[in-house]
Copies of this chain bind each other. A is one copy, B any other.
Amino acid sequence: MIHKIAVLGASGYTGAELVRLIATHPTMQIAALSADRKAGMEMSEVFPFLRHLSLPRLQKIEEIDFSGIDLAFCALPHATSQEVIAALPSGLRIVDLSADFRLRDPAAYQKWYGKPHAAPALQAEAVYGLTEFYRDEIRSARLVAGTGCNAATGQYAIRPLIEAGVIDLDQIVIDLKAGVSGAGRSLKENLLHAELSEGTHAYSPGGTHRHLGEFDQEFSRAAGRPVLVQFTPHLLPMNRGILATVYVKGEARAVHRALADRYADETFLEVLPFGALPSTRDVRGSNFVHIGVVGDRIPGRAVVVATLDNLAKGSSGQAIQNANLMLGAEETAGLMLAPVFP
């Protein structure tokens, strides 16, 4: 059984990562690739690392014949995505990698993204794509919203602790370190090698990062009452990887047990032995998440450290995992690639 796939927005990093992963997927086949400004070009001109593959030429979205397509990945910019998806065939299965359908509440969307949602009906329909927590809904969904990569990392560390009731909900600090590929292939000064190499810094501090909208929505839902976390992301001189250091008030062994129990049957979530801590290098290029827990010298406090690859499990890998569920394929199909180290 072959599933025909379209990738819309194939000229960015998440689009390229989708193509990389689909290249060795047992049942998915790329039938169409779009990139508006690069329509007419070969994918190998935009991404020479894919030149060994036989791929369809880049098209404009309106040129694509969706009649034979089983599922479309939308790797388009925020705000663009909602307009494009609204115009796609209504029966088409879609996994959206943008931020457009992550927030369920129209008011929350407006608050974090600064304008009303252009496709509120789709917003209501979309299922939040954190696979391990929405598996059943994803399986039957038509439209799945990929999570923010930072939001995924923080949730993997914290959700089980909320569910298990082992931490103080009012004292959660997420200090997050992120590689630069999460910012995309955009031409911004702070993404230049000359600026970033040796140039670690915080960004969007003080509760202004949009992924907080996801934290608020999901943690409050899990807790059954409002939960507000502190969250400071930092940009680091590396390409792939997110490492979230989470400070919680709770008994460290109970914290570790809650995580280990919750993820015991999850293929991609590895909880390390108590006291061991993960490194970004150990998940790079893969769909795995490594999580460690250590107790603090201050009794009743613990530190949880979670890491994943922002382009894989943080976006394109997650998208394929969700698509597998939607298409009735093996959930892990195409995603068992080992990390690349060193």
Are A48 and B194 interface neighbours, CB within 8 A? no
Are B198 and A177 interface neighbours, CB within 8 A? no
Q: Which residues of chain B are near A238, meaning CB under 8 Å?
A: 197-200, 237
Q: Which residues of chain B are near A89, meaning CB under 8 Å?
A: none
Interface residue? A59 (CB, 8 A): no
Which of B48, B180, B232 lies in contact with A193, CB distance below 8 A? Answer: B180
Query: Which chain B residue lies CB-closest to A243?
Result: B200
Are A236 and B239 interface neighbours, CB within 8 A? no
1/0 per position for A171-185, CB-CB distance to B under 8 A? Answer: 101010101110101
The CB with the most chain B CB atoms within 10 A, among A50, A180, A200, is that of: A200
The CB with the most chain B CB atoms within 10 A, among A191, A195, A282, A340, is that of: A340
Are A296 and B180 interface neighbours, CB within 8 A? no
Interface residue? A187 (CB, 8 A): yes
Are B270 and A245 interface neighbours, CB within 8 A? no
With A297-B207, A340-B20 given, is the CB distance from A239 to B279 under 8 Å? no
B-facing residues in A32-71 (Cβ within 8 Å) = 47-53
Minimum C-beta distance from A208 to chain B (A): 7
Are A192 and B192 interface neighbours, CB within 8 A? yes
Interface residue? A290 (CB, 8 A): yes
Minimum C-beta distance from A167 to chain B (A): 14
Are A338 and B247 interface neighbours, CB within 8 A? no
Q: For the complex formed by this chain, how many copies does it contain in all? A: 4
Which of B198, B203, B243, B303 lies in contact with A179, CB distance below 8 A? Answer: B198
Minimum C-beta distance from A336 to chain B (A): 6
Q: Give complex CA distance A317, B243 in Å.
A: 30
With A200-B280, A290-B48, A340-B285 given, is the CB distance from A194 to B239 under 8 Å? yes
1/0 per position for A284-314, CB-CB distance to B under 8 A? Answer: 1110101000111110010101000001000
Which of B16, B47, B173, B295 lies in contact with A247, CB distance below 8 A? Answer: B173
How many A residues touch B, CB cutoff 8 Å? 90
Interface residue? A88 (CB, 8 A): no
Q: Give complex CA distance A188, B177 in Å.
A: 24
Are B285 and A201 interface neighbours, CB within 8 A? no
Interface residue? A165 (CB, 8 A): no
With A181-B342, A296-B206 given, is the CB distance from A198 to B284 under 8 Å? yes
Q: Which residues of chain B are near A49, meaning CB under 8 Å?
A: 281-284, 286, 338-339, 341
Minimum C-beta distance from A172 to chain B (A): 10
Are A338 and B53 interface neighbours, CB within 8 A? yes
Query: Which chain B residue lies CB-closest to A279?
Result: B201
1/0 per position for A149-182, CB-CB distance to B under 8 A? Answer: 0000000000000000000000101010101110
Q: Which 10 A-B pairs have the closest CB atoms?
A: A207-B297, A199-B281, A201-B279, A187-B187, A175-B175, A194-B342, A49-B282, A206-B294, A49-B339, A49-B341
